[in-house]
Amino acid sequence: MPATANMDADLQPRRKGRPRTAETAAPSLVEILNLVRTEKATTRQELERESELGRAVVADRLGTLTELGLVDESELGTATGGRAPRLVQFSAHRGSLLVATLDQTALGVGLADLGGKLKMEHHEAADLTQPVSALLDRLITLFRWIVEMQPDAGELWGISISVPGVVTDSGESFFQNATPPVLPGWESFPLVEKLVESFDVPVWLRSSVETMTMGEFHSGAGVGHRAMLFVKVGKRIGAGLVSDGHLFRGAQGAVGLIGSVPVSAGERHGTLETMAGSEAIIREGRQQAERGLSPILAEHLRRGGEITAVEVAQAAHMGDAGAIDILSQSGRMIGQVVATLANMLNPELIVLSGSIAQSNDILLAAAREAIYGASHPLVSRDLQIIRSQMGSSSGLVGAAIVATESLFSPAVLRDWIMAGRPQAHPQFEALRGRLETQTAAVAAVMPPPKA
Amino acid sequence: MVIEGLGPHGERASAPERVLLLPEDKARARAAGLRVAIVLHTLASDWAKQQLAGIVGTLGDCGVAVIDVVDCGFTPEVQIEALDRLIREAPDAIISLPVANAKVAAAHARVSAAGIKLVLLDNVPTGLLPGKDYVALISADNFGLGKMAAEGLAPHLGEDGEVGVLGYDSDFFATNEREIAFVKWMRINRPRHRLHVARFPSLAEAGATAAAMAKKQPDLKGLFVVWDTPAIAAAAALASAGLSVPIGTVDLGKEAAISLSGGGPIVTIAAQQPFRQGQTAASTTVTALLNRLTPAWVALPGVSVTASNVVESFQTIWRSPAPREVLRQQNLLR
């Protein structure tokens, strides 16, 4: 029987007789686990109050969750008169997630627990224009190395990757069912499928601006805030919005493509990306050096160096007038576009990220001036505009959060919680079945060469 | 200067020149009457001593008082206790080399939380962020060191065969980066060699780990060890098993220099520059204390050392003459 048939059978509601324990218990298990996981309830009393379930039911469900290794009650809390209550804590180390960030020039990998906390990370230079198969090989090598270096990490439950492009939401599955055409060459290469086959876990892909927004919100400058606007400045310029603690994904996940907004500076017109992104900064830097307006960059060129955006930022930092001009102008243009968003959205916090914004105060200062100058007084009154401190780590943490939010969303959790591991989810079993069938079909058409 | 690696959060490296101190900076620092404490993994190794000399000397040039130097003996508990004690002393800055990852993360975070500037050497516990939890990381380009060692060892490996990699079984940024880079370079540039990785849990077990690897792979054509002290132990263990295997490693320790100069088994070394790293750590600290923005990661390039440049490299790196045995091997003693 194909795996899909299995899934259908499982999803059929039972109409007669007493319901199975699994069916009645699952909703309350899901609710209790999520109350514990999000720390809305940390004792049995709080769980009873928040869930409005009886003491016996809470005790029974906690027993099940403890058996599944998802909850731990071994620590004592602070007594508020009488005996100290047992703390109910989420076992974030029960499972682990492999995470990665791919951007134009670098590859980052890490291992996170189910709370989104990174246990290990590594970043290296990489060329995204290399063939996808080479990129996948490197990713698998680094993932295997991390798993080997972290033998005590929990069982692997997922892989989540931050990619430099929009990943539209098909809504078919809670994880990635196939490889979306994010980059050239991906439409004909089964990247996601190969990862599923290699590690036997579900795979998530999200745009880097989305993962970085999530990472910054959960572990960086966004901690303790409710409404945050995140702006990533690089070759591409994009924005992410967290509203009331949730990432806004729009109709298809194509949110924050502010790099396409037309802007002008004097006689010049173009999109924000082409006028203020890192390629514009490089182009202007080269021109300033050649015209003799930037002594530090000119010296750098004379010594055979290459002008990069970071070079321009460092020259500006050392007081080079030409470089300061370039970054101020870039910051001003970004600020003008972001101010429009700020007036519309009223964020508490705007975080600027990307290597240029992070290594240099000049771009940030110019952006701040433009945003404060163009914002309604009510919008700018308590608005903070800061630079990210997380670097590429925000993408890794955010990728982990994407996976945990998906795994533990009630509609998904319900279908795997009784098995204690997400690989038991019918949708994942169906994908695995489909991939096995495909592999078998390919093997039948092309028998392996004889030795 | 080409830096091959990326920082612990994917940062691009900044050159030590970025934190160069001008005479007016030094005058301002002197006028401020600053106090700094230093917490190192050990004070026993030449590497630590040279780095300390670079830090203390440069701070002295800026009129900054060093109020304490702690030897953690590679022990996380000692480091945690030292950091908590120093927080109460309230120096203006602490320069620390975290001896572990998760275990010492919270103690380091408390330093910044107490308003003390924290400058890290070599390693960043996962989760700590530059600008928030620490000022900057100063380290060698460890990824570059691994690659440099691979390039240096490659000519000694023949056309194909087995190559050993002796890593450190601890979650440590510097040694992880070296191992990843060595393996990556070999896979790309010497695809016909088969790599065998083993990791030693402590220095005392490095020799035994190497011996166990040699027993499994008696035809080893070469070995990479992530730093020099375990490399010397591995060389001794292989010699007592009757094997002579060319070894590449990181850091120009005295014994490693003698082995390199005498024709092996150590045949190539990618060396860090501890004195210069110490100077850079001190200038970064002073830059931060003058409330100027510092780069998140300042990296120093490695020095590729072979038998032909061992004498001058030793002098550059250690600021002292090469050992007499090296000078004798190089026919420099009459």
Are residues A113 and A236 located together in one domain of the fold? Answer: no
Query: Do residue A86 and residue A99 come from a single domain?
Result: no
Examine residue A431 and state whether it is found in any structural domain, yes or no: no
Task: Please say whether the dihedral angle defined by the alpha carbons of residues B311, B312, B313 and B317, taken in this order, is positive or negative.
Answer: positive
Q: Are strands A203-207 and A155-163 parallel, antiparallel or unpaired?
A: parallel
Alpha-carbon distance B115 to B308, whole Å? 49
The answer, yes or no, to whether residue A7 has pLDDT greater than 50, is no
| Neighbouring residues of B98: CB distance < 8 A, sequence distance ≥ 6 | B79, B104, B105, B108, B120, B122, B123, B124, B125
Q: Which two tokens stand for residue A31?
A: 């609710």
Q: Which of A145, A318, A356 to mutate against chain B (most B CBs within 10 Å)?
A: A145
The rounded distance, in Å, linking the Cα atoms of B226 and B172 is 11
Question: pLDDT band at A446, cuts 50/70/90?
Answer: low
Among all residues of chain B, which has the CA nearest to that of A316?
B18
* Residues of B with Cβ-Cβ distance to A317 under 8 angstroms: 18, 293
H/E stretch holding A230 reads: strand A228-233
User: Looking at A92, A126, A158, which one is the last position of a domain?
Assistant: A92
Residue A1 scores a pLDDT above 80: no
Average pLDDT (A395-411) is: 92
Strands A155-163 and A95-102 turn out to be parallel
CATH number for position A20: 1.10.10.10
Same domain, A250 and A200: no
ipTM: 0.88
Cβ-based burial of B82 (10 A; exposed 0-12, middle 13-18, buried ≥19): buried
Residue B250 CB: number of other CB atoms within 10 A? Answer: 27
- Tokens 């079993």 locate to A429
Kindly state the tokens that stand for A213: 């927004």
Per-residue CA distances from B164 to B126, B161, B168, B183, B209 (Å): 28, 10, 13, 10, 11
Residue A37's alpha-carbon distances to A29, A58, A92, B90, in angstroms, are: 12, 15, 8, 38
- Do A206 and A234 share a domain, yes or no? no
Q: Which of the residues A109, A123, A162, A317 would you substitute to probe the B interface, choosing the one with the greatest number of B C-beta atoms within 10 Å?
A: A123
* Alpha carbon A424 to its chain's center: 24
pLDDT reading at A148 higher than 70: yes
User: Sorting pLDDT into bands at 50, 70 and 90, what band is A23?
Assistant: low
Contact A106 B7 (CB under 8 A): no
Are residues A383 and A292 both part of a single domain?
A: yes
Tens of pLDDT, residue by residue, chain B (334 residues): 578 888 888 888 888 888 888 898 999 999 999 999 999 998 888 889 989 999 999 999 999 999 999 999 889 999 999 999 999 999 999 999 998 888 899 999 999 999 999 999 999 988 888 888 999 999 999 999 999 999 999 999 988 899 999 999 887 888 999 999 999 999 999 999 999 999 998 888 999 999 999 989 888 999 999 999 999 999 999 999 888 899 999 999 888 999 988 887 999 999 999 999 999 999 999 999 998 878 889 999 999 998 889 999 999 998 889 999 899 888 888 7
Among candidates A310, A317, A389 on the partner chain, residue whose Cβ is nearest the Cβ of B130: A389
In a domain, A128, yes or no: yes
Confidence at residue B89, expressed as pLDDT on a 0 to 100 scale: 94
State whether A389 and B7 contact (CB < 8 Å). no
Q: What is the CATH number of the domain that holds A234?
A: 3.30.420.40
Q: Taking CB atoms and an 8 Å limit, are A389 and B131 in contact across chains?
A: yes
pTM of the model: 0.87
The boundaries of every CATH 3.40.50.2300 domain in chain B are 16-140+274-300, 143-272+305-329
Contact status, residue B62 vs residue B31, Cβ threshold 8 Å: no
Strands A268-271 and A384-387: unpaired
Q: What phi and psi, each to the nearest 5 degrees, are found at residue A163? A: -125, 155
Task: State whether A123 and B130 contact (CB < 8 Å).
Answer: no
**Total domains in the fold of chain A:** 3
Mean pLDDT of A377-390: 90
Q: How many CB atoms within 10 Å of residue A155? A: 13
* C-alpha pair distances (Å), A185 with each of A131, A165, A179, A197, B168: 8, 13, 11, 20, 38
In a domain, A174, yes or no: yes
Residue A267 lies in a domain: yes
Alpha carbons A241 and B103: distance in angstroms, whole number = 34
pLDDT greater than 50 at residue A3: no
Which residue segment(s) compose the domain that A344 sits in? 223-389
| DSSP H helical ranges for chain B | 23-32, 46-61, 76-89, 102-113, 142-153, 173-189, 206-216, 228-240, 254-261, 274-289, 310-318, 324-329
Instruction: With beta carbons under 8 A apart, name residues in chain B contacting A117.
Output: 127
Pick one of 3.40.50.10320, 1.25.40.10, 3.40.50.1000, 3.40.50.2300 as the CATH number of B143-272+305-329.
Answer: 3.40.50.2300
Residue A358 has pLDDT above 80, yes or no: no
Q: How far away is chain B from the Cα of A405, in angstroms, using its nearest Cα?
A: 20
- Looking at the predicted structure, is the pLDDT value of residue A4 above 70? no
Q: What token pair was written down for A178?
A: 């196939």
Q: How many CA atoms lie within 13 A of B50 on its CB side?
A: 20
Neighbours of A130 (CB within 10 A): 12
- For chain A, give the mean pLDDT: 86
Q: Per-residue b/e over A332-354, b at no fewer than 16 CB within 10 Å?
A: bbbbbbbbebbeebbbebbbbbb
Q: Which residues, including other chains, have CB under 8 Å from residue A323's CB and lie 6 or more apart?
A: A285, A288, A294, A296, A297, A312, A313, A315, A316
Same domain, residue pair A269 and A384: yes
- Final residue belonging to a domain, choices A92, A115, A147: A92
Distant-in-sequence, close-in-space partners of A361: CB < 8 Å, separation ≥ 6 = A317, B293
* Closest by Cα among A355, A362, A311, A309 to A335: A362
Residues A128 and A261 in one domain: no
Residue A440 included in any domain: no
Ordered alpha helix ranges (H), A234-317: 272-276, 278-290, 295-302, 309-317
Decide if A391 and B143 are in contact by the 8 Å CB cutoff. no
Amino acid at A326: I
DSSP B192-205: TEEEEEEEESSGGG
Task: Give the pLDDT confidence of A337-354 residue by residue, as tens digits.
Answer: 999 999 999 999 999 998
In a shared domain, residues A197 and A312: no
Query: How far away is chain A from the Cα of B126, in angstroms, using its nearest Cα?
Result: 6
Q: Is residue A300 part of a domain?
A: yes
Name the B residues in 66-105 with CB < 8 Å from any A CB. Answer: 101-102
Residues A232-271: tens digit of each pLDDT? 998 889 999 999 888 898 888 888 999 999 998 888 899 9
B175–chain A Cβ distance below 8 A for any pair:
no
One domain for residues A150 and A161: yes
Considering the domain architecture, whether residues A275 and A354 belong to the same structural domain is answered as: yes
Residue of A150, A387, A392 with shortest CB distance to B10: A392
The verdict on A194 and A255 lying in the same domain is: no
Structure tokens belonging to residue B225: 């060890």
Provide the CATH number for the domain formed by B16-140+274-300 in this structure: 3.40.50.2300
A439 in a structural domain: no
Q: What is the DSSP letter of A393?
A: H
Chain B residues in contact with A318 (beta carbon < 8 A): 18
Kindly report, residue by residue over A58-103, the tens digit of the pLDDT: 898 898 889 888 898 888 877 777 778 888 889 899 999 999 999 8
Q: How many residues does chain A have?
A: 451
The CA-based diameter of chain B, rounded to the nearest angstrom, is 63
pLDDT category at A188 given cuts 50, 70, 90 is: confident
Which of A51, A67, A92 is the C-terminal boundary of a domain? A92
Chain A positions touching chain B (beta carbons under 8 Å):
101, 106, 108, 117-125, 141-142, 145, 149-150, 219-220, 310, 314, 317-318, 355, 358-359, 361, 387, 389-393
Same domain flag for A246 and A308: yes
Given a contact cutoff of 8 angstroms between Cβ atoms, the answer to whether A199 and A143 are in contact is: yes
* Closest residue on chain B to A101 (Cα): B10
Q: What is the pLDDT of residue B29?
A: 93
B10, A106: Cβ pair inside 8 Å? Answer: yes
